[in-house]
Amino acid sequence: MDCSVLVIGAGVAGISAALHLADQGQAVTVVERDDFVGGHAVRLGCKAVDDCQRCNACLLPDRLHRFLNHPGISLLTRSQVLAITRAGRSFQARVQQRPAIIDPERCDDCGLCLEQCPAVEDGALRRPAWAEQRPTLAVDPAACLHFQDGRSSLCQEACPTQAIDFGRPDREMEIAARAVVLAGGFTPAPPDEKDRLGHGRVPNVIAALELEEMLRRSGRATRPSDGREPQRVAFVQCAGSRQRLSRNYCSRICCGYGLRLARGLTQRQGARATVFYMDLQSSGRDPDQFLAEAKRELELIRAMPGDVGPGPADTVWVEYQARSGQPPQRREFDLLVLNQGLAPNPDNPTFTEWLDLLPGQHGFLAEGPGVFVAGTAAGPMDVAESVLHAGRAAQAVMEFLEDKA
C-alpha cells in the first residue's frame, strides 16, 4: 500500500492533519489502534450552560464527519505499527490490523448482543463516544470472556444477522509513505500514583475523565457508591502531575479544564464546588475575566490535600494545610474529582528509536527529517491548540513534499 503521508493516530490532531493534507490532494493513510476514532477529545462534553465556556469540545464533530467521509483518506482502525524505517527518501511501515469481530456491514445495531453479554459492564462490548461512527459496536478482546477462556459466545448466538465472528484472523500489511505525521496524543497521568488521594481506595473518589464520561452519558454527575447527586464536590488539580521524581512539569491546560468542569457542575446541578490547587495558569482569551467568574462561583483553596479517606455515609474527607505553620484542616465532601495532567504516550520512545529522532522534552516527541509531530504528541495542549498545531504540521509536510518533488 502506497500513500503520500502516513498519519499515526486518529485523535483530533491526527484527524485535523489528515484533513488538511487530503484537502490539498495528498493521499493520506491513517493508522489508529482503537476501534473508534476521535481520541480523548471525542470523550469531552460541552461545558456551556448559560454562556459558552470555550472548552472547544465543539471543534471535533464537524471534523470527524468530514474525516470519515473524505475520499482522500484511507483509515485503518484496530491497527498498530509494528515497525517503521527509512527507505531512501521515503518510509516503510509494517502494520498489523486486528479483525472486525462485529462486521459493520451486517450489524443493524439491534442491541441483542448487549443484552446477552455477561461481561458488558466490564467493557466487553463498546460503543463509540460519537454516535455517527460506524461500527456502532465493537468487542474488546481484553474484557471479552470468549477471548479469555472461551466461556461465552452468547452474543454471537443471539445476533440475528450473523455479524459476530470470533474466528477472523489478523492481517499484516506494508505501507510506503513519503512523509510521516506522529499524532499518537497523550495518556492521562495516573491520578494517584502514591494512593494518597484515594483513587481506587476510597469510594466516591473519581478521575476527571470519569466524571466527563458520566456527564456525557447522562448529563448529571452521580456518586458511584449510591447513584445520588452530590451536593458538595471537591476538585484536586495537578493529580498525578508535577511529581518531582516523574512528571516534573506543568500540563498547562488542566487549570482551565478543571475550572470549566467545576463551573459546569455548579450551574447544571447546583452543587457547591471546592477546588484545591497549587497555582492557576492563564486560561482563555480573557484570563482575568475567566478567573473572576470562577472565583464568584467556586471556592478556590490554594493547598494540596495531604491525605484523603472515607467518611460517614460514603462521604470523602480531605485533609489539607490552608496556611504554612498552621495545623491541618479536615473537610467532608460527597464526591472528590482528581484532575489529571497529560503524560507522554508510552509508545514515544519506540518511535524515537525507529525514526532516529532526538528525544523530546519530558518524554514527548520531536520532529526529524520527513517526520512531523501533531498535537499533544509534542506536548500538553488543549483541543483548539491541537487543531492549530496539526494544521501547522500539515503545512510543513506540504512544504517538505514540494521540496522533494
CB 137 within 8 A of CB 113: yes
Q: Is the pLDDT of residue 262 over 80?
A: yes
> What percent of the chain clears pLDDT 70, i.e. is strictly above it?
93
* Residues 49-70 pLDDT 10s: 666 656 566 778 889 999 999 9
Q: Is the pLDDT of residue 380 over 70?
A: yes
Q: How far apart are CA 75 and CA 67, in angstroms?
A: 9
| Residue 259 to residues 40, 80, 147, 296, 303, Cα–Cα distance (Å) | 18, 36, 41, 12, 16
The stretch 317-338 carries a mean pLDDT of 91
pLDDT the model gives residue 244? 58
Domains plus CATH for the chain? 2-98+170-185+345-404 (3.50.50.60), 189-342 (3.50.50.60)
Number of Cβ within 10 Å of residue 263's Cβ equals 22
The stretch 143-147 carries a mean pLDDT of 90
The stretch 104-129 carries a mean pLDDT of 89
Q: Is the pLDDT of residue 378 over 60?
A: yes
Average pLDDT in the chain? 89
Find how far residue 154's CA is from the centre of its chain: 31
- Cα torsion for 134, 139, 143, 149, to the nearest 10°? -170
Q: How far apart are CA 187 and CA 210, in angstroms?
A: 14
pLDDT the model gives residue 213? 86
pLDDT the model gives residue 216? 82
* Residues 216-258 pLDDT 10s: 888 899 999 999 999 999 999 988 776 655 667 888 888 888 8
> What percent of the chain clears pLDDT 90, i.e. is strictly above it?
62
The stretch 28-35 carries a mean pLDDT of 96
* Three cell numbers written together for 271: 452543587
* Residues 191-224 pLDDT 10s: 776 678 999 899 999 999 999 888 888 889 999 9
Helix or strand or coil: residue 37? coil
* Three cell numbers written together for 222: 452521580
CB 56 within 8 A of CB 257: no
The stretch 103-116 carries a mean pLDDT of 90
CA atoms within 13 A on the CB side of 103: 13
DSSP per position, 162-187: --B-TTPPPEEEEEEEEEEEE---EE
Q: Where are the alpha helices (DSSP H) in 99-176?
A: 112-116, 145-149, 154-158
Helix or strand or coil: residue 48? coil
